[in-house]
Amino acid sequence: MKRSLAILCLNFLFGGTTPLQETAHAEGASDRDPATAVRLAAEPVLFEKEVRPILKEHCFQCHGEGGKKEGDLDLRLRRLMMVGGEHGPVIVPGQPEKSLLFVKVRDGKMPKGQ
């Protein structure tokens, strides 16, 4: 799950231009034919439809719902991620290595306990 979330966040940060094989693999497309995997990986990720539900399931309980905002961070809206929390913005479009959200998920530091 963590790898899938990291890849999805990377896709979101790049606006749908992540490495195709990694995205396809993260979605379980390894058993599909290569053309299908490439097509699925090339489709843009929509924040409300694809990213927000994952964040809601794994992040909102600490960063948004019920007025709880650990680290003064609210992940419920993209614009709130751009504002960020105690450590500044958590996403830097087009620069995943500078995006705290991506780095924390990639390194397994978030979500806590998962």
pLDDT at 29: 45
User: Does the residue 75 lie in any domain?
Assistant: yes
User: Does the residue 83 lie in any domain?
Assistant: yes
User: Does the residue 111 lie in any domain?
Assistant: no
Greatest distance between any 2 Cα atoms in the chain: 45
The stretches in the chain having pLDDT less than 50 are 16-30
Domain count, the chain: 1
Please tell me the distance from the alpha carbon of residue 40 to that of residue 2, in angstroms, as a whole number. 19
pLDDT at 18: 43
User: Does the residue 25 lie in any domain?
Assistant: no
User: Does the residue 63 lie in any domain?
Assistant: yes
Whole domain around residue 100: which residue ranges? Answer: 2-17+45-106
pLDDT at 21: 39
pTM, full prediction: 0.66
pLDDT digits (tens, 9 = 90+) for 72-86: 999 999 899 999 999
User: Does the residue 112 lie in any domain?
Assistant: no
Write the DSSP symbol of residue 66.
G
Token digits of residue 44: 């843009």
User: Does the residue 34 lie in any domain?
Assistant: no
User: Does the residue 33 lie in any domain?
Assistant: no
